[in-house]
Amino acid sequence: MTEPLPPGWLPAQLNGGWTYSDRVGQPQALISAFLAERHRHSAATLWRQRLQQGEILLNGRRLDGDGPLKAGDRLQWQRPPWLEEAVPARWRVIHDDGDLHVIDKPSGLQVLPAGGFLEHTLLHLLERSCEGQALPRPVHRLGRHTSGLLVCARRPQTRAWLSARLRESTADRPADPESASPAAACRKLYRALTVPAPLPLDPGDILVITTPIGRCPHAGLGQIWAAAAGPEIPGALAAWSELRLLERRPQGHLVEVAIRTGRPHQIRIHLASVGVPLLGDPLYQPGGAARAEALPGDGGYRLHAHRLRLPLPDGGWLDLEAPAPPELR
């Protein structure tokens, strides 16, 4: 028998399906091979089945089999409705001044459509709850299983302004914290639990982590963001995190992390790169590489966007805090 959902959860439901579009840059021998290379979640055999089922359109014409592609061709995959898993659909509003809208996002809720989620997302839930009213749209993202402060805004001008400030705060910074700008646009603090591996810090001590992050080979996805310490990863991005040990515990270390760059999965990768991955993280292993059998959306870890110091368009600052979950206090 299925266990009842916690209060405030949206049950698993079929969505309305979605149409994905691709444009062909170079001639291709087979549609199925092109789609398998472009969308690595499905092999060519599965794309051939979708072609036979009439799910693929070429230049607006529905296909029933494989074939070649010309440069400039347009493909559409009319994906049938699929089941989206249950998600938490209730959250606390931390700040709302009629324009700026900051919430405490629950762990398990996807912010924007991705990773198999289309309607069970924060954006879709906001759209449903704000019919006839100005919609607060997310200014940035948090990982699906990361909880805490998420900034939204109703006015496009505010979103653009805040997005620029966030870009300034996540621009490349010097590795030496003493030489970094003291007036960064935002200050973001996270709390997390790591595995109880040896960490050469006493409570209150700080470790600066500058491991570059880049797209590395991955068996399931083709490429994945991971630690890129070697020169064999072209295009690796500079990254900067400041790890502070708060408390040693038998089951894992309680830490606080400040970030000056906003690379994908940065905290998960950086903590793993120094030998203390997030407790329960199925993807990133000690050293910062990604496991082949796991995906970025897999959960189990504890990471919380705890505090945020945010500049305001009219001047001044806004200091925000989302109370940490019990295990992160």
Confidence of residue 185 (pLDDT cuts 50, 70, 90): low
pLDDT of residue 312: 85
Residues 272-329: pLDDT tens digits?
A: 999 999 999 999 999 999 999 998 989 999 999 999 998 888 888 999 999 999 999 9
Q: Is the pLDDT of residue 182 over 50?
A: no
Q: What are phi and psi of 35, to 5 degrees?
A: -70, -35
Is the Cβ–Cβ distance between 178 and 312 less than 8 Å?
no
Lowest mean pLDDT among 147-156, 160-169, 172-181, 256-265: 172-181
pLDDT of residue 180: 42
E strand or H helix that includes residue 160 = helix 156-169
Q: Is the pLDDT of residue 40 over 90?
A: no
pLDDT of residue 2: 66
Residues 18-38: pLDDT tens digits?
A: 999 999 999 999 999 999 998
Phi-psi region of 72 (alpha: psi -120 to 50; beta: other; left: phi over 0): left
Long-range contacts for 230-234 (Cβ within 8 Å, ≥24 apart)? Answer: none
Q: What are phi and psi of 180, to 5 degrees?
A: -75, 155
Q: What is the mean pLDDT of residues 47-58?
A: 97
Domains of the chain: 18-80 (3.10.290.10), 87-169+305-328 (3.30.2350.10), 185-298 (3.30.2350.10)
Q: What is the mean pLDDT of residues 242-252?
A: 95
For 99, the token pair is 């324009």
Mean pLDDT of the chain: 90
Helices and strands, counts by H and E, the chain: 5, 20
Is the Cβ–Cβ distance between 259 and 143 less than 8 Å?
no
pLDDT of residue 232: 67
pLDDT of residue 172: 44
Looking at per-residue confidence, does 186 or 301 come out higher? 301
Q: What is the mean pLDDT of residues 109-127?
A: 94
Residues 156-180: pLDDT tens digits?
A: 999 998 888 776 655 444 444 444 4
